[in-house]
Amino acid sequence: MPPAPVFRAPARPPRPALRARIPRLRHPASRARPPRTLDAMTEKTHDNESWKERGVMLRVFVYVFATHAFAGFVWLLFYVGQNAQK
């Protein structure tokens, strides 16, 4: 019985740098766009910032409420323990 053939992959050329392999996705007409106005930039940023601000305020409210609820529970435990019949 003849020996099984050995498969050898062909030698690959060295890989170029990663930056050279990534194609640029800029359209030739991208420079023809008018510049963005300050109002357009401000509105978009304002919407984004107000959304983040609401999230922060909600988080602060929840944390403060949870902290006070826990403190009230601990205070209640001390009160009940102090007035318990011994």
**Is residue 19 situated within a structural domain?**
no
**Is residue 20 situated within a structural domain?**
no
**Is residue 4 situated within a structural domain?**
no
**Which residue would you say has higher pLDDT here, 23 or 86?**
86
Model confidence at 23, in pLDDT bands (50, 70, 90)?
Answer: low
**Count of structural domains, the chain:** 1
CA dist., res. 52 & res. 46, Å (int): 10
What does the mean pLDDT of the chain come to? 77
pLDDT in tens, 47-74: 667 788 889 999 999 999 999 999 999 9
- Quick check: 81 pLDDT over 90? yes
**What pLDDT was estimated at residue 4?**
78
Reported pTM = 0.41
- Quick check: 24 pLDDT over 90? no
